Amino acid sequence: MGRYDLALIGFGGVNRALAELISRRGDRLARELGFTLRVVAITDLRAGSLVDTDGIDLAPLLAAEPGELNFAGLAGGSADPRNEWVIREVPADIVVEATFTNPADGEPALSHVRWALESGKHVCTTNKGPVALAGRALKQLAAEHGVSFEFEGSVLSGTPILRTAQRLFGGLEITGVQGILNGTSNYVLGRLEEGLDLPAAIAEAQDLGYAEADPTADIEGHDVQLKVMILANEVLGADLRRGDVFCEGISAITPQEVQDAASKGLRWKLVGSATRHEDGSVDARVAPLALPAHHPLAGISGPVNAVAFHTDLLGTVTVSGPGAGRIETAYALLSDLIAIHQRHADDDTTPTRPVLQETHRV
């Protein structure tokens, strides 16, 4: 049975949930999937870094409160995240990037992904920044190094929207996509309809693990803007930059407006869309819309998200499922790990893992 050694970069809600999956369901996953997963390194801005090339014992880390983790006192631990050294030097097969999404320039996650691919390591990430802002270049870099760059969780968390479009829509022409692509704002709009004010609704979404570290990106539409770019680039063959996608969020919508609309059978939704024209150009935008009840996206509520694909042969096909959540997003990472296994299990060119120099361990 094969084994993949993982380096987890960022140990917040999502990568911690992946560690829980590995820790609690590892044996079952091994039986079902035919490979085992072992974590050999973790870095985090707050907790520091922890390296054990024989496999980190995850149980005590998962038993600790997230805010209390401090790797400095542990064998192989340091107060410094040492991301570049861990990514480049620790003999892991796959780097799992789940630090903060930075909608402006994708950093430092973009560098994390580059360092990993340049070092011949596969990458899976839920971080939208590198995928939206540099996806094409990163896929090229991965191909040059014979490794995979997987990012299913960057759109609709664990709901397999990108693989569905890429693998199951063969022979169809997709002419456009329209979606509810942010769990936080959709949850918040629902709570406004129920009478909560904006700050209280955002606080709930943060507690539930849906919101970004800075929820401005959720509320002002920048998170959806990145996801529209990913969908347009991956599914419609576009090459959009952030400035190409008009973006308006939901901060100006009052609870009263949401309630008045509901009384008329309308639902305010933050909608991201991209349309391909006959000349091949793609228009994309993010804006709140009051949708009538019969619209395929009107009934999508809470942290559930959906994408309606407009196609030539099937008309509109709508896929919905969780759009946010720690475990749901960790599942996206698991699906990426499975995809990497399926693509590379038979590689006879897999590089042997370099040996970590003891002097670098602490």
Ligand X SMILES: NC(=O)c1ccc[n+]([C@@H]2O[C@H](COP(=O)([O-])OP(=O)(O)OC[C@H]3O[C@@H](n4cnc5c(N)ncnc54)[C@H](O)[C@@H]3O)[C@@H](O)[C@H]2O)c1
Ligand Y SMILES: N[C@@H](CCO)C(=O)O
Residues that are catalytic: 227
CB of 185 to ligand X, least distance (A): 13
All residues at 6 or more sequence positions from 137 whose CB lies less than 8 Å from its CB, including other chains = none
CB of 140 to ligand Y, least distance (A): 24
Q: Which does 48 bind (CB under 5 to 8 A by kind): ligand X, ligand Y, none?
A: none
- Member of 6, 10, 234, 253 binding ligand X (CB under 6 A): 10
CB of 39 to ligand Y, least distance (A): 23
d(CA 11, CA 243): 31
Q: Which does 52 bind (CB under 5 to 8 A by kind): ligand Y, ligand X, none?
A: none
In this complex, which beta carbon is closest to ligand Y, that of residue 52 or of residue 150?
150
Q: Which does 77 bind (CB under 5 to 8 A by kind): ligand Y, ligand X, none?
A: none
CB of 61 to ligand X, least distance (A): 12
Residue nearest to ligand Y (CB): 184
In this complex, which beta carbon is closest to ligand Y, that of residue 211 or of residue 274?
211
Of 136-155, binders to ligand X (CB under 6 A) are 153
Residue labelled with tokens 């309606």:
308
Q: Which does 49 bind (CB under 5 to 8 A by kind): ligand Y, ligand X, none?
A: none
In this complex, which beta carbon is closest to ligand Y, that of residue 74 or of residue 300?
300
Site membership for ligand X, residue 44 (CB under 6 A): yes
Of 154-183, binders to ligand X (CB under 6 A) are 157
Q: Which does 97 bind (CB under 5 to 8 A by kind): ligand Y, ligand X, none?
A: none
Of 204-223, binders to ligand X (CB under 6 A) are 209-210, 212-213
Q: Which of 271, 293, 267 is nearest to 284 (CA)?
A: 271
Q: Which does 182 bind (CB under 5 to 8 A by kind): ligand Y, ligand X, none?
A: ligand Y
Site string for ligand X, 82-121 (x = CB under 6 A): -x--------------xxxx------x-------------
Interacting residue ranges for ligand X, rule: CB under 6 A: 9-14, 43-46, 81, 83, 98-101, 108, 126-128, 153, 157, 209-210, 212-213, 324-326, 329
